[in-house]
Amino acid sequence: MESNLFDLSGKTALITGGSRGIGLAVAKGLARHGANITLVARTEKQLEQAQRQIQEETNKHTWTFPFDLAQTDQIEDLFENIIKETKGINILVNCAGITRRAPAEDINLNDWGQVIDVNLTAVFAISQAFCRHRKHIGAGGKPATLMAGKIINIGSLMCHAARPTNTAYASSKGGILMLTKSLAVE
């Protein structure tokens, strides 16, 4: 089904967690509207499959970057490599996420930390890199505002609700809600 709701021709979108699930669906949707696609996910084989699907279905150029977002101290380097390869990112979709289920009194701090790192800290770190990139590009030689780029953060019903054994995930997604609001006002 062809849609003319919007045209993303000439734009490049970066989707974390883009090799499957919601991230892959978002990537395909953006590609169908004309965007070239950059995928970041942990598993190279799944990235290659997603790349093939997107290119076959949309004929849009798709780059892949295997990377574990739990390595938050290396996200700036990842983003610089992405920019070198793609020549620029216009749209950032933070979709990657993990969970570790356990009752709150039993979850170990390593599991807690992994969930917070991937679901919240990585989103902040890659959003920072994206914002710096968009400002650096500028518009007509002048510093660009963030209006020149778009950040889309994928939350969860867990932004507003809680379930047993999901404390780390709910906390990270609640953090995404407030991070998104904070980035929007800045």
Q: Which residues are catalytic?
A: 169
Q: Which two tokens stand for residue 20?
A: 């499957």
Query: For strand 91-94 and strand 12-16, is the pairing parallel, antiparallel, or unpaired?
Result: parallel
CA gap 5, 17 in Å, rounded: 25
**Order of strands across the sheet that contains 150-153:** 62-66, 36-41, 12-16, 91-94, 150-153
